[in-house]
């Protein structure tokens, strides 16, 4: 026997990251761009710092950059977990907003728009 009111939950195939996502994700193009800029800037800064240290030690610049890139990839996974979560939350909010606007437009095109029929 099934219950008449199933427990509310996320739809099948939809991620539910509201517990780990930072609040304040707007999903606006500016918010997404800021999150991307912060994350990319932080990763580039780590590469620059590591390369600078290696050049100061005496390694050639090209070798230092290659080593810095290889070392910074896994290091940034741990160092920038918060920035990555913020970026994911912004992208998820932008996707949800876009999906809602698309569904509203489709409803209006079908003539099912709420408030249109008195």
pLDDT digits (tens, 9 = 90+) for 7-63: 444 444 444 444 444 456 676 777 888 888 999 999 999 999 999 999 999 999 999
**Residue 77 within any structural domain of the chain:** yes
Angle at 44 between CA 39 and CA 45, to 5 degrees: 95
Q: Average pLDDT of the chain?
A: 79
**Residue 100 within any structural domain of the chain:** yes
**Residue 118 within any structural domain of the chain:** no
Instruction: Identify whether the C-beta of residue 72 lies closer than 8 Å to the C-beta of residue 46.
Output: yes
Instruction: Identify whether the C-beta of residue 67 lies closer than 8 Å to the C-beta of residue 46.
Output: no
DSSP state, residue 11: P
**Residue 13 within any structural domain of the chain:** no
Domain range holding 103?
Answer: 29-110
Nearest one of 18, 89, 1, 95 to 9, comparing CA atoms: 18
pLDDT at 8: 43
Query: How many structural domains is the chain composed of?
Result: 1
% of the chain surpassing 70 pLDDT: 73
Nearest one of 70, 16, 61 to 43, comparing CA atoms: 70
Instruction: Identify whether the C-beta of residue 37 lies closer than 8 Å to the C-beta of residue 85.
Output: no
**Residue 24 within any structural domain of the chain:** no
**Residue 51 within any structural domain of the chain:** yes
**Residue 8 within any structural domain of the chain:** no
Q: Is the pLDDT of residue 72 over 90?
A: yes
Which has the higher per-residue pLDDT, 114 or 33? Answer: 33
């Amino acid at each position: 026997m099934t219950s008449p009111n199933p427990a509310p939950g996320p739809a099948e195939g939809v991620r539910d990251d509201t517990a780990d996502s930072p609040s304040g994700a707007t999903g606006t193009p500016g918010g997404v761009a800021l999150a991307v800029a912060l994350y990319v800037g932080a990763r580039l800064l780590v590469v620059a710092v590591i390369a600078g240290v290696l050049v100061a030690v005496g390694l050639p610049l090209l070798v230092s950059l290659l080593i810095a890139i290889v070392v910074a990839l896994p290091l940034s996974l741990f160092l920038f977990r918060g920035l990555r979560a913020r970026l994911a939350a912004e992208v998820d909010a932008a996707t949800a907003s876009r999906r809602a606007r698309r569904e509203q437009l489709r409803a209006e095109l079908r003539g099912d728009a709420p408030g249109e029929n008195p």
